[in-house]
Amino acid sequence: MSSSIKLDKDEEGKCVDSKLYRSMIGSLLYLTASRPDIMFSVCLCARFQANPKESHLKAVKRIFRYLQGTPSLGLWYPRDSTFDLHAYSDADYGGCKIDRKSTSGTCQFLGNMLISWF
């Protein structure tokens, strides 16, 4: 999803079938386990499941078109790879000089493959 696209409540937008929208979001959330590149976009669209509008459905369809065009991307776990889980984290407690907020980050590796980070 483009960073210039801003999804909001879209009060004047045309309503769409919420059951269809929720099923599409559910399918995409399941897929994020092997396609972390869509995580941000899917979670952004998932915020509007209670009252989806046409603009939200258009964004979800755009994610599906992206997936159709990039079938070779994703996490791949070879059969002979080791499944040792290694996790690393770092924190800077109160490191921001303006408001004294903390900054933290973490990453997890399964074998030598990065599977999660923030």
Task: Please determine, for residue 111, whether its predicted confidence score (pLDDT) is greater than 90.
Answer: no
The reply to whether the predicted model has a pTM over 0.85 is: no
Chain segment 50-100, per-residue pLDDT in tens: 899 998 999 999 999 999 999 888 877 777 777 788 999 988 777 666 677
pLDDT value of residue 107: 92
Buried b (16+ CB within 10 A) or exposed e, 64-91: eeebeeeeeeeeeeeeeeeeeeeeeeee
* 3-state secondary structure (DSSP) of residue 77: coil
pLDDT value of residue 116: 82
User: What is the spatial distance between Cα 56 and Cα 113, in angstroms, rounded to a whole number?
Assistant: 33
Q: Within 1-117, where are the H helices?
A: 18-31, 39-46, 54-69
